[in-house]
A = this chain, B = another copy of it.
Amino acid sequence: MSTLIEPRVLKGFRDYLPSTELARAALIDKLEATFRSFGFVPIDTPALEYAEILLGKGGGETDKQVYRFKDNGDRDVALRFDLTVPFARFMAEHYNELYLPFRRYHIAKVWRGENTQRGRYREFMQCDFDIVGTDSASADADIVLTIASAMQTLGVGAVRIRVNHRGLMNRFLAAQGISEKLVPVLRIIDKQEKIGPDETQALLTQEVGRPLAERIIDFVTPEKDSSKTLTKMLELCGKDDADAQAAANRLSEVFSIVNACGLGALVYLDPAITRGLDYYTGIVFETTLVAMPEIGSVCSGGRYNELASLYTTKELPGVGAAIGLDRLLAALEALGKMEQAQPLPLVLITNDGSVALSLLHKEAHRLRQEGISCEVFPEAKKLPQQYSYAEKKNIPFALLFQNMQGYQEIEPYLSKFPLRDLKERQTQEFDSFEKLVLFLRNFSASLGTTASSTEL
């Protein structure tokens, strides 16, 4: 006998067993329904692309993490490490075949050879949605509204969507005469929640001196409400700064839209949100769960001026966000808000060997035609063994067709439908197929939405 190969996955990779995969699929179904309700349409791009396309000018932190290799045709290729770069390439290649503004979502896997010590995975799913081809308050607001709607649909409880405008911070720093310090200052502001106010002040002082550090901290500290915060930010930028005024107007417009939809309570202006070194140029946002702020943002994004400038001279301003699926899944589980999924299947048709397989399958077929999922236990085994199987698979009911030798040939061959509730360990007899179906439908409806919910 030949030696066995040890069955294992690569470090940082994982299998999805059915319970996890079902939860993920249910989450994605709900997100897709939300995206579609806002007119976002799905696209897909290849997992593998020319390294030149994915890495662009290159030299960034990302490069080291990319799975890059020579294919059999000696092409320099790489696995995508995000969905933004492929989307940029996609838009440059296809904008003539599409229409603008283009709203797309894309839910797909990406790969990064990250350090796995921090609990990071090297293969994970990203979920992006963007509106490209318009620089408008309406599109900015639509992304915020989509986030709010998605979070409501998922049932994660209260959320806080914190928004800001990169233009304000830029103009503020310019007014202080320290535009060249933008990157290090943003970097410090970005981590202020983690490091605390003292450390933030110390680092900023080191970077720009004490008086300026204090002014920056004043600038990034929110007031009682978003409107007051905005007024203060604008004042600190200098009242006659047209760019700052334009940024403030954009934010006001977004807030008025969000308020009109009755979602004002979820959204507020936080001048400390900068999205670090990202390429954002306008509005930026982060989303935290009120019940679990410690897990960080579950949905972040912002506006960028030039999506596809590496590949085309066509101007493609856009705004979008990405949802952290793994984080959200973990949060839903921790909060006990993982909606009870529909059991798969609803019914196990037991098989004690006394009833012809063809009859068991015929009953299964009838049930499926009524929309009831079910399976026939394929071998004649002792019932406790079949119950144990059902329990492990979370099948709630068993149909017990036993000792029915007399009914094997002729229709109506069954006049009783003994249904066992496997949790309660009780059996109920239904005297017609219709009553059985009705009972099972009601049970199913009592569990809430099915995995794939219907949305127009």
A-to-B contact residues, CB < 8 Å? 2, 4-11, 13-18, 21-22, 24-25, 29, 32-33, 36-50, 52-53, 56-57, 64-65, 67, 69-73, 75, 77, 79, 89-90, 92-94, 97-101, 103-104, 109, 111, 113, 123, 131, 134, 136-139, 141-142, 145, 149, 253, 256-257, 259-262, 308, 310-313, 342, 344-346, 348, 351, 356-362, 365, 368, 371-379, 389, 392-393, 395, 440-441, 444, 450-456
Whether the pair B345, A37 counts as a contact (CB closer than 8 A) is yes
Which residues of B lie under 8 Å from residue A69 when comparing CB positions? 67, 69-70
Q: Contacts A16-B42, A440-B456 known; list 15 others, CB within 8 Å.
A: A4-B312, A9-B45, A10-B48, A10-B77, A14-B46, A21-B42, A22-B41, A38-B368, A38-B373, A38-B374, A48-B79, A48-B123, A100-B389, A346-B456, A452-B455
Specify which of B7, B24, B136, B440 is in contact with A312 (CB 8 Å cutoff): B7
Question: Given the complex, which residues of B lie within 8 Å of A375, measured CB to CB?
Answer: 38-39, 103, 142
- For A5, give its contact among B36, B53, B99 (CB under 8 Å): B53
Q: Known contacts A75-B10, A357-B141, A450-B456: does B344 contact A134 (CB below 8 Å)?
A: no
Q: Are B22 and A44 in contact (CB under 8 A)?
A: no
B260 touches A361 (CB 8 A): yes
A176 to chain B, nearest CB (A): 31
Chain B residues whose CB sits within 8 angstroms of the CB of A49 once the complex forms? 9-10, 13
B contact residues around A149 at 8 Å (CB)? 368
Q: How many angstroms between the C-alpha atoms of A212 and B166 in the bound complex? A: 81
Chain B residues with Cβ below 8 Å from A141 are 357, 361
Distance in Å from the Cβ of A148 to the closest Cβ of chain B? 10
25 interchain pairs, CB-CB under 8 A: A7-B53, A7-B93, A10-B46, A10-B49, A15-B43, A16-B43, A18-B42, A36-B345, A36-B373, A39-B344, A47-B111, A65-B72, A67-B69, A67-B72, A69-B70, A73-B113, A100-B389, A103-B375, A131-B378, A138-B377, A142-B378, A259-B358, A260-B361, A440-B456, A452-B452
